[in-house]
Structure 1
Amino acid sequence: MSLGVLNNISAIYAQNNLNSTQSSLSKTLQQLSSGSRINSGADDAAGLAVADGLAANSTALAQSSRNASDAIGLLQTADGALSQVTTLLNRAVTLATEAGNGTLSTSQLSSANQEYQDILTQVNNIGSTTNFNNTSVFSNTARNFFVSDGTSSGSTTYTDTIGTLTTASVGTTAGTAAATTSPTVTNGTAAAYASSTGTAGTVTIALNSTHATDTFGGALTVSYGGNNVSMNIAAGTTGANLVAALNASGGAFATAGITASLSGSTLTLTGATPTGSGSVASNALVAASSGNTFAETVPAGPAGSGQDLSAIALDTSDHAKTVLTNLTTAIADVAYQRGSIGANINQLSSAQSVTSAEQTNLTSAENNITATDYGQAASDLSKYQVLSQTGISALAQANSVQQEVLKLLQ
C-alpha cells in the first residue's frame, strides 16, 4: 500500500465505524432510559404499527370495562331501591292483613290506613328521587350500555328498561301491554294505477303493530276490477298464516289475481298487470272499502306489567282484603323487575370479565413488541462502549500513520 497524504483511507474507515457505533450506543441508551424498544418509527416501523393498533384496542377495552361498571352501578342502584320497596310492601301486607280482621275499631283502621298511606308516599319518594349520575333511575326509558371488544366492528349494546315506580303502577315495565284492538284499515298511496304504466299496482295496509307474534282476525275487502273481493280471516291467525290464507289456491284473492305479502306491520296487496284503457285500468287494484277493519290482538305483557296501589285505602275490612290481593301482585311485579335487572347485571359482569381478559392479553402482546429487553440492552451497552473506545483508539492510530511520511522527507 502506497503512502499518501491526500486521503487517509484508514481514518475514514475508522470514523465511519465509530459513527455507527455511536449511533447504536445512543439508541441503546435511549431504550434503557425510556423502557421502550421502539422510540420512533425508524426503530421498527412494522412493530410500531402493530403496537399502536393493539394500544388503541386496549384503550377501547378499558373504557368498555368502565362502561359496563357504570351500567352495573346503575342497575344495582335500581335493585337496591326495589329491595327497599319490597320491604315497605311487606309491611303494608302486615297492615292489610291486620285491617282485614273484623275486630278492629274505626280508629284502629284509621291508624293502619295512615301508616299504609305513609308507605305509599315513601314508595313514590323512592321512585322520584332515586338517581344515578343525576339521572332518574325509574324513568321508563331504554338505556343502552355500549361494550366494545376493542375494534370498530366488534361491539355489543346491552339495553335495559327500568319501568316507572309510583304507587299508581308499582312494578310497571316499559313495553308491556295487553289489548285487543280492531284498527281501521289504512291504505297506502298506491290506491290505483293507470293502464299506461304497464306495471302491477299495489295497496299497502298498515296493521298498526310490529309484533311478530300478533294474531289477526276479521274481514278484509278491496275493490278490484270493479268488484269487491272479500275474505273473512279466522281469529287468531298469525302473520305468516295470514299471507298463506290470502294466497291460498282457489281463494278469493288468489283467484282475482291478487298476491299478498307481510313485512313487519305492513300488509301489501299486489294486483296483476293492468288491462283496458283510461286513467284507471278496468282491473285496477284500489283502496280497501271505507270502514273495513282488520282485527289485531296484541299478546298480554309478561309479569311486571304493574299494579295500582293508590286506588283503594285501608278504611274497611273488605277494602283491606282487596288491598292485600293488590299488594301480593305488586310484590310479584317488583320481584319480576329485580330478576330482570339481576339478569342484566350478570350479563354485564360477564361482558366486563371478557373485556378485562382481552385487555390483559392485548397489553401483554403490545408489551412484547415495545418493551425494552433489559438483558439484551445491557449486553449491547457493554459491546458498544467497548467498540466506542476501540474505535476512538483506531481513529487516533489511523491519523498517526500519515506522520510517517515526514520521516521520508527528512
Structure 2
Amino acid sequence: MEKNGQRANVGGKGARYTEQVDYIRWRRGGRFNSPVPEKLVVYTAFTLCYLPDGRRLASKRTSPQGARRQHRNMPLRVNNNIAAINTQRLISRNVNVLHRGLERLSSGLRVNRASDDAAGLAVSEGLRSEVARLGQNVRNAQQGSDLLQTAEGSLQEVNNMLVRMKELANQSATSTVNDTNRESIAAEFDQLVSAIDRIVEATTYNSSNLLTGFGNQVSSTASTAVTGSATTGVTRISLSAVQDGTFTFSDTAADGDLTLGNGAVTQTLNMGTLLDGNVVASGTSVVANFDRLGVQVTLAGVGVQGAIGDYTDGDLDGTTIVVEGSTGGSFQVGPSNSFFNRLEVGISDLRATGTSLNLGGTSVASLDSARQAISYIDQATATVSVARGDLGTAQNRLNFSIAFTEVEIENISASDATIRDADVATEVTSFTRAQILVSASNSMLVQSNVSLVTALSLL
C-alpha cells in the first residue's frame, strides 16, 4: 500500500481494489493502526465508509460487480429529493390525523362537520330535532300538570267550604234552632258563598283564570257564509208509451243536515223552494219541462233524454244555534299534531253564584229554605267532585306522558350518541399514534435533507 494518493494493493481472496486515502495501512481482518480520517472513501466500484474506531461498514467480500450494481440502484440526486418529498407527504397526513384527534377529543364529537360523516350527520340532526321537540313536550306537560294542580288545590278548598255549608244547612233545618239562630247561621252561609266566588275568581295561572270557565269561552260572532251540497231522493223517472204533449216534472228536495264546527251543532235545512229549469227537447213534438234541480228523466221510446237545469239554493229555517260542547284548554304532550299527542281539559264556571253550582239564591234563613239548600249543596258537591276527578285523571295522563317521553328521549339520545359522539379510547389511541409518527417523520425529514450534503464532498 502506498500513501498520499498512490496506488495500494489491498489483499483478500485475490481481489484488488484502488482507493483514495490520506494515510491508511491495511491489515486483513484487523484494525487500522492510525485513526481513519472522517471523510467519505470512494472506491471505483462502490462507496466505503469507515467508523472513527477504524472499522469499515462495507463487507470486504463484496465483489466489484455487486458494488457496481448497488451504485446503479442508489443514485445520488440533488434537484428532486424523493425521500424528503415522501417524508413531507407523510408528515402532512399525520398532522391532519393529529388535528382531527385534537378536535374530537376537545369537542367530544366524532362528527363535527358534514365532511366527517355526511350520512351520519343527516341522521343525527334529525334525531337532535326530535329530542328537542320531545324535551319541549315534557316541559309542556310539566307546566300543564302545575296548572291542573293549581286548579285542583283551589277546588279542594271549595269542597271544604261546601262541607261546612251543608253542616250549616243541616243545623238550620232542625226545629231545635229558632229564627235568631238561623239568622246567624245564614250570615255565615252567605259569607261562605262569597268566599267560594273569591277563591274561584282568584285561581289563575299565567294570567288565565282556571275556574270561571277555563277553555270554554265561545265567541259571539258567527260567520253567515255556509256552503254545502245535498242530493234529492228522486234520481230518475222512466216514461213509456209517451204521446204528444207537454210533460211537467216537479220534486221537493229531501231535507239535509248541516254540521257546523265548534262542538256538535246541527241545523236542518228545508229545500222545498222550487226553481224552473231549462227546457230540454229531443225527438219529434216532445217537450220536457224541469222545475227542480237534480231530476234526471229518461223517456223511453221517443229518445228524449232529460238533463239538469238550474241549481237550487236553500235557506236556514231557524235562527237559534245550540252549542252542546266546546274544546277546553289544550296541552301538547306529543311530537305530532294529533289527538293522541294532545290533552284537552275543560273546566266549567264553578262560582257559587254560577250555573254549575247554582248556590246564588240558596238560603238557610228558614226551615224550608234550609232543607231545600241541602239538596243544592249536594249537587254542588257532586259537581266539584266530578271536576276534581277530571283534573286528577288529566294529571295522571300528563305524568304518564312525561315518563314515556323521557324514556323516548333517552333512547333517541343513545342513538344519536352512537352516531355523533367520539369514542375517547379510540381517539386517544389514534392521537398518540399520530404524535409518534409526526415526531419520527420530522426526524426522518432532517436526515433526508442532510444526506444531500454528502454530494458536496464529491465536488
Instruction: Give the counterpart of 2:125 among 49, 52, 58.
Output: 52
CA contact (8 A) 1:225 1:283 kept: yes
1:7-406 aligned at under 5 Å gives the runs 7-142=80-215, 222-224=272-274, 271-273=294-296, 306-406=356-456
Tell me which amino acid in the other structure corresponds to 1:329.
Answer: Q
The range that moved more, 110-119 or 381-390, is 381-390
Partners of 1:363 and 1:189 lie apart in 2 by: 49
Tell me which amino acid in the other structure corresponds to 2:441.
Answer: G
CA contact (8 A) 2:162 2:381 kept: yes
CA contact (8 A) 1:88 1:119 kept: yes
User: Which string of whole-angstrom CA distances, capped at 9 and with x for unpartnered residues, describes residues 131-163 of structure 1?
Assistant: 112221124242xxxxxxxxxxxxxxxxxx6x9
Give SS of 1:309's match: coil
Structure 1 spans left out of the alignment, 5+ residues = 143-160, 164-173, 175-185, 191-199, 227-256, 259-268, 276-280
Partners of 1:85 and 1:58 lie apart in 2 by: 41
Tell me which amino acid in the other structure corresponds to 1:307.
Answer: L
User: Which string of whole-angstrom CA distances, capped at 9 and with x for unpartnered residues, describes residues 187-234 of structure 1?
Assistant: 9899xxxxxxxxx997986768669988999x96824489xxxxxxxx
Tell me which amino acid in the other structure corresponds to 1:402.
Answer: L
CA contact (8 A) 1:203 1:286 kept: no
Partners of 1:396 and 1:201 lie apart in 2 by: 106
Partners of 1:39 and 1:300 lie apart in 2 by: 53
The range that moved more, 206-215 or 69-78, is 206-215
Partners of 2:78 and 2:87 lie apart in 1 by: 16
Q: For residue 42 of structure 1, report the CA deviation from its aligned partner.
A: 2.5
Q: For residue 348 of structure 1, report the CA deviation from its aligned partner.
A: 1.6
CA separation of 1:215/1:139 partners in 2, compared to 1, >3 Å: closer, same or farther? Answer: closer
Q: For residue 372 of structure 1, report the CA deviation from its aligned partner.
A: 2.0
CA separation of 1:210/1:131 partners in 2, compared to 1, >3 Å: closer, same or farther? Answer: closer
Tell me which amino acid in the other structure corresponds to 1:85.
Answer: V
CA separation of 1:324/1:39 partners in 2, compared to 1, >3 Å: closer, same or farther? Answer: same
CA contact (8 A) 1:89 1:327 kept: yes
Partners of 1:205 and 1:59 lie apart in 2 by: 48
Partners of 1:395 and 1:56 lie apart in 2 by: 48
Structure 2 spans left out of the alignment, 5+ residues = 1-73, 219-224, 230-250, 277-289, 299-307, 327-346, 349-354
The range that moved more, 23-32 or 321-330, is 23-32
User: Which string of whole-angstrom CA distances, capped at 9 and with x for unpartnered residues, describes residues 322-353 of structure 1?
Assistant: 11000000101111111111221122222212
For normalisation by structure 2, the TM-score amounts to 0.59
User: Which string of whole-angstrom CA distances, capped at 9 and with x for unpartnered residues, describes residues 284-316 of structure 1?
Assistant: 86757x9x7799999899x98723101121110
Give SS of 2:364's match: coil
Partners of 2:382 and 2:196 lie apart in 1 by: 16
CA separation of 1:34/1:283 partners in 2, compared to 1, >3 Å: closer, same or farther? Answer: closer
For normalisation by structure 1, the TM-score amounts to 0.65
CA separation of 1:213/1:225 partners in 2, compared to 1, >3 Å: closer, same or farther? Answer: same
User: Which string of whole-angstrom CA distances, capped at 9 and with x for unpartnered residues, describes residues 340-388 of structure 1?
Assistant: 1122112222221221111111111122222221111111122111111
Q: Which residue pairs with 1:263 in the alignment?
A: none
Q: Which residue pairs with 1:178 in the alignment?
A: none
Percent of residue pairs identical: 26
- More helix per residue: 1 or 2? 1
Tell me which amino acid in the other structure corresponds to 2:148.
Answer: L
Q: For residue 46 of structure 1, report the CA deviation from its aligned partner.
A: 2.2
CA contact (8 A) 1:214 1:296 kept: yes
Give SS of 1:403's match: helix
Partners of 1:42 and 1:283 lie apart in 2 by: 67
Give SS of 2:272's match: strand
State the number of aligned residues.
314
Q: Which residue pairs with 1:233 in the alignment?
A: none
Partners of 2:408 and 2:363 lie apart in 1 by: 56
Tell me which amino acid in the other structure corresponds to 2:122.
Answer: A
Give SS of 1:48's match: helix
CA separation of 1:105/1:404 partners in 2, compared to 1, >3 Å: closer, same or farther? Answer: same
Partners of 1:347 and 1:79 lie apart in 2 by: 15
CA contact (8 A) 2:105 2:427 kept: yes
Tell me which amino acid in the other structure corresponds to 1:271.
Answer: G
The structure, 1 or 2, with the larger RCO (C-alpha pairs under 8 Å, 6+ apart) is 1
Q: For residue 64 of structure 1, report the CA deviation from its aligned partner.
A: 0.7
Partners of 2:111 and 2:159 lie apart in 1 by: 59
CA contact (8 A) 1:51 1:370 kept: yes
Give SS of 2:357's match: coil
CA contact (8 A) 1:203 1:270 kept: no
Q: What is the root-mean-square deviation of aligned Cα atoms in Å?
A: 4.2
- More strand per residue: 1 or 2? 1
